[in-house]
Amino acid sequence: EKWPRGDETVWKTNMRGVDADVGNITKSVVNHVQTSLARQAYNLDNLGAYQAAALSVRDNMLVNWNETQLHYTRKAPKRAYYLSLEFLMGRTLDNALLNLDLKSQYKDGINQLGFSLEDLLEEERDAALGNGGLGRLAACYLDSSASQDLPVWGYGLRYKYGIFQQLISPEGNQLEAPDPWLDNQNPWELPRIDVNYEVRFYGQSERLPEGHGRAIWTGGQEVLAVAYDVMIPGCHTRNTNNLRLWESKPKRGFDLNSFNAGNYEGAVESSNSAAAITSVLYPNDHTTFGKELRLKQQYFWTAASLADIIRRFKNLGKSINEFPDYVAIQLNDTHPTLAIPELMRILLDEEDLDWNFAWQIVTNVFFFTNHTVLPEALEKWPVPLMEHILPRHMQIIYDINMIFLQAVEKKFPGDRERLARMSLIEEGFPKQVRMANLACIGSRRINGVAELHSQLVQTTILKDFVEFFGVSKFGNVTNGITPRRWLDQCNPELSKLISSTLKIDKSVWLKDLYKLKGLVKFAEDKGFRAEWAAIKQRNKERLAHHIETTLGFTVNTNAMFDVQIKRLHEYKRQTLNILGVVHRYLELKAMTPAQRKKINPKVVFFAGKAAPAYYIAKLTIRLIVNVARVINADPETKDYLSLYFLPDYSVSLAEVLIPASDISQHISTAGTEASGTSNMKFCLNGGLLVGTVDGANIEIAEEVGEENVFFFGHLTPAVEDLRYQHVYHPVPVDEACPALANVLNQISGGLFGDGGVYEPLVNTIRQGDYYLVTDDFDSYIRALAMVDDAYMDRDEWVKKSINTTANMGKFSSDRAIMDYAQEYWNLEPIPVGKD
């Protein structure tokens, strides 16, 4: 059939985006006001204007998106798919304008229409389809894939409710409210009602007698997966990739059989349960709960994504044994591990391949990234639940396990303990399926997310697998962050100063971040240092203004800004930080006014959400809020130390906080934070870092120089022994660390309100102290004192700040994604419009 239909030149001359001149931009925005929104100029508010502007920008992206997809189809390269249950995208409009290089034109156009672009940007709601680091990493990797012209698509779920909204009660308790982010229509997604797949749950699986491990799976519940596409524009390239999010729908709106039988309510109920699958993001970070609906989410998403990937592959007309030459699938932690038995099921039961052939394909397609070594995050699913929901997959997992354990037995004869450790099934009541083991044996390669973490993966949780497969199957890809959002977008003044100083256009250095190295020599330039410091100061004022308008507090912008923002978790040790604040407060109280005057004022900021069922994490928030209440009201000390807990942490809030930070805290117990990525964001924006020798902190110090990082605390190899000591030879805190004991006594004694409330939190330290707060407290306080001293010499501090930014090139997510492309996926850039 002829394409396009009709007159080709008519098509081609009309297939353009909105021309980049201001006249066309205003025309396009007004047109969207009138037609897409059916509104009029006289009653248009900021929200309406935002929506019209967003739709206009979307038109531009769509042209590029279409062109990119056509280009990929024609060139038929190998593609990679990033399967992540979380994509913490944040806002899109500003990012899209910058990547498309249209920001100044839209700014002018919006102005001409009587609005301000800055106001419109604030109307957008965050797309917060993630909990923390793992979800934000996925978002940075999408930005880098598009910017590096890599043919990569993301696959995830279109949750109706993202991460909950955090409210803080007057007593300091975290309350959770739903996040109805889709309520004002989402201009960034394209519903693809025609792209849909049926996904089965429950039912029966019958093995076929003739073998090859085949079976037929029938009955149960069928749910429809409908695609929604989110465009991912690359930076200064036409390449625009896709993030495909699935929504669950009942297959027919209601169950016809029950309907005809007069069971109207039952029929509607079944349709409700289908919609429930993608209704809400689970808000537990680093913990698994074995909930049936979560397992259904995981299967629903992996089954729909694989069906879509296979359909696209089949359009190439290749034979199935070439699948690994055209497809790489990255598993973001173990959440999508069911894709492994699902692909086996398709190859065996639908494609009729024999077992070994199918397994050969599977183990060349998947790649697995581990994001934590914390035991509570290791996913395990009860066998009875799996058998009930996914009977065919449970059979396949048993078959994989049998064949695998035979191979282990052959290599390590008679080592029964090893077999028990490596089995996909953990014995117990009930038995459980170990998803990390399955992901490991079903993948081509496995990686951790920072050097230390990758070593820990290989020597602890996957040690047996390294011994079995050999070390070459295991690797490291140190995380990265996108400098587009985390420098150019969130810190436009610094970005401008960098471009003018280096005399390099930002379109160049933002995509080759090692170019920042050129800033090193300007650290010695007094004028440059003054400009650098002035920008930090204005960013602090911007944050203070934000806090003043949203919370009504007046923040002292002459103080050092000290920031810790991340999920609340015992391993991240917000406790250490708040106890350190109390320690400093007690010190200030003991001083004379004259002594205090010599002190360098400090404002401490916390933000972060606690999992709704994580009692100790919520209690930590309560303590922070109540310490803030007391010390901010103390006339003797408040000029020297104040404290804020900023509610409802989000990507957008991070974009205001990070550029304003002088120092940020990354103080996990050594060996517990796999990488951390906010550490990179702070340093890229010229903030210094106080931290433990953990995760990517180590590599940051390697790059920026240890003299520019404030390290403290015990090292990873000491942790195991210290924990043992706490349990078997406990020393009371009063002896082990008197300074800490004093702080705990003040809290228990009621300095910050009813001390009894905090007993459970205080007891985590007094008893067992699994995260070693006691062991690290003194060196933490010393590190903070060194920070204070260093800050006194402002000139030296600014030099450190410049040298830090200058040496952050390694931490661009462009470097990380190219590492995956080359060392894992075997993928090449496919730039649009360059051939």
Spell out the residues 6+ positions from residue 832 whose beta carbon is closer than 8 angstroms to its own: 64, 67, 68, 71, 149, 237, 238, 239
Long-range CB pairs of 26-29 (<8 Å, 24+ gap) are 26/109, 26/112, 26/113, 28/56, 28/59, 29/53, 29/56, 29/109, 29/110, 29/113
Nearer to ligand OAK, 137 or 547 (CB): 137
Task: Tell me if residue 566 is catalytic.
Answer: yes
Do 495 and 487 form a contact (C-beta atoms < 8 A)?
Answer: yes
Of the residues 296, 511, 567, 799, only one is catalytic, namely 567
Nearer to ligand OAK, 302 or 675 (CB): 675
Q: Specify burial of residue 308 (Cβ count, 10 A radius: 0-12, 13-18, 19+).
A: buried
The DSSP-derived string for 518-582 is: GGGGGGG-HHHHHHHHHHHHHHHHHHHHHHHHHH-PPP-TTSEEEEEES---GGGTHHHHHHHHH
Nearer to ligand OAK, 324 or 695 (CB): 695
Of the residues 71, 136, 371, 485, only one is catalytic, namely 371
Q: By rule CB under 6 A, what count of residues binds ligand OAK?
A: 18
Distance of closest approach, residue 132 Cβ to ligand OAK, in angstroms: 5
Distance of closest approach, residue 700 Cβ to ligand OAK, in angstroms: 12
The neighbouring-strand residues paired with 247 are 226
- In the numeric block, which tokens belong to residue 11? 């098509």
Of the residues 566, 584, 602, 622, only one is catalytic, namely 566
Choose the binding region for ligand OAK from 54-62, 112-120, 274-282, 369-377 (rule: CB under 6 A): 369-377
Distance of closest approach, residue 448 Cβ to ligand OAK, in angstroms: 9
Which residues in 794-820 are b (16+ Cβ under 10 Å) and which e? eeebbbbbbbbbbbbbbbbbbbbbbbb
Q: Which of residues 454-493 bind ligand OAK (CB under 6 A)?
A: 479
Q: Which of residues 239-268 bind ligand OAK (CB under 6 A)?
A: none
Task: Tell me if residue 371 is catalytic.
Answer: yes
Nearer to ligand OAK, 687 or 695 (CB): 695
Among 673, 699, 814, 819, binds ligand OAK (CB under 6 A): 673
Task: Tell me if residue 804 is catalytic.
Answer: no
- In the numeric block, which tokens belong to residue 32? 């969207």
Q: Which of residues 504-563 bind ligand OAK (CB under 6 A)?
A: none
Nearer to ligand OAK, 85 or 523 (CB): 85
Nearer to ligand OAK, 58 or 681 (CB): 681
Binding status of residue 688 toward ligand OAK by CB under 6 A: no
Among 304, 439, 674, 798, binds ligand OAK (CB under 6 A): 674
Nearer to ligand OAK, 333 or 464 (CB): 333
- What's 283's DSSP letter? -
* φ, ψ of residue 5 in degrees (nearest 5): -70, 155
Residue ranges of alpha helices (H) inside 20-85 are: 22-31, 46-75
d(CA 648, CA 174): 10
CA angle 612, 617, 619 (to 5 degrees): 100
Beta strands 474-476 and 445-448 are parallel
CA distance readout (Å), 639 to 555, 558, 559, 835: 10, 10, 9, 62
Distance of closest approach, residue 374 Cβ to ligand OAK, in angstroms: 8
Of the residues 296, 345, 506, 572, only one is catalytic, namely 572
Nearer to ligand OAK, 286 or 766 (CB): 286
Binding status of residue 349 toward ligand OAK by CB under 6 A: no
Among 105, 458, 677, 813, binds ligand OAK (CB under 6 A): 677
Among 285, 488, 648, 655, binds ligand OAK (CB under 6 A): 285
Task: Tell me if residue 515 is catalytic.
Answer: no
Binding status of residue 371 toward ligand OAK by CB under 6 A: yes
Binding status of residue 675 toward ligand OAK by CB under 6 A: yes
739: three-class secondary structure by DSSP: helix
CA 707, 708, 713, 717 torsion: positive or negative? negative
Binding status of residue 609 toward ligand OAK by CB under 6 A: no
Task: Tell me if residue 618 is catalytic.
Answer: no
Among 109, 132, 156, 442, binds ligand OAK (CB under 6 A): 132
Of the residues 200, 380, 434, 681, only one is catalytic, namely 681
Binding status of residue 286 toward ligand OAK by CB under 6 A: yes
Distance of closest approach, residue 513 Cβ to ligand OAK, in angstroms: 18
Distance of closest approach, residue 685 Cβ to ligand OAK, in angstroms: 17
Choose the binding region for ligand OAK from 128-136, 525-533, 699-707, 719-727 (rule: CB under 6 A): 128-136
Spell out the residues 6+ positions from residue 788 whose beta carbon is closer than 8 angstroms to its own: 560, 599, 600, 602
Q: Which of residues 133-172 bind ligand OAK (CB under 6 A)?
A: 133-134, 137
Task: Tell me if residue 572 is catalytic.
Answer: yes
Nearer to ligand OAK, 97 or 157 (CB): 157
Choose the binding region for ligand OAK from 21-29, 126-134, 179-187, 804-812 (rule: CB under 6 A): 126-134
Is the preceding omega at residue 382 within 30 degrees of 0, hence cis? no
Among 382, 659, 695, 753, binds ligand OAK (CB under 6 A): 695
Query: By 3-state DSSP, what share of the chain in percent is helix, strand and coil, each rounded to 5?
Result: 55, 15, 30
Choose the binding region for ligand OAK from 17-25, 39-47, 185-193, 667-675 (rule: CB under 6 A): 667-675
* φ, ψ of residue 788 in degrees (nearest 5): -60, -45
Choose the binding region for ligand OAK from 127-135, 254-262, 534-542, 820-828 (rule: CB under 6 A): 127-135
d(CA 450, CA 694): 9
Binding status of residue 446 toward ligand OAK by CB under 6 A: no
Residue whose Cβ sits closest to ligand OAK? 133
Nearer to ligand OAK, 163 or 377 (CB): 377
Q: Specify burial of residue 517 (Cβ count, 10 A radius: 0-12, 13-18, 19+).
A: middle
Nearer to ligand OAK, 133 or 442 (CB): 133
Question: Residue 771: which of 574, 570, 581 has the closest Cα?
Answer: 570
Spell out the residues 6+ positions from residue 547 whose beta carbon is closer than 8 angstroms to its own: 553, 555, 644, 646
Q: Which of residues 214-233 bind ligand OAK (CB under 6 A)?
A: none
Q: What is the CA radius of gyration of the chain?
A: 28
305: three-class secondary structure by DSSP: helix
Distance of closest approach, residue 285 Cβ to ligand OAK, in angstroms: 5
Beta strands 240-250 and 221-233 are antiparallel
Among 126, 255, 333, 488, binds ligand OAK (CB under 6 A): 333
Among 110, 215, 377, 627, binds ligand OAK (CB under 6 A): 377
- What's 212's DSSP letter? T
Tell me the longest C-alpha to C-alpha distance in the chain. Answer: 90
Q: For binding to ligand OAK (CB under 6 A), which residues are involved?
A: 132-134, 137, 285-286, 333, 371-372, 377, 449, 479, 673-677, 695
- Active-site positions read 371, 566-567, 572, 677, 681
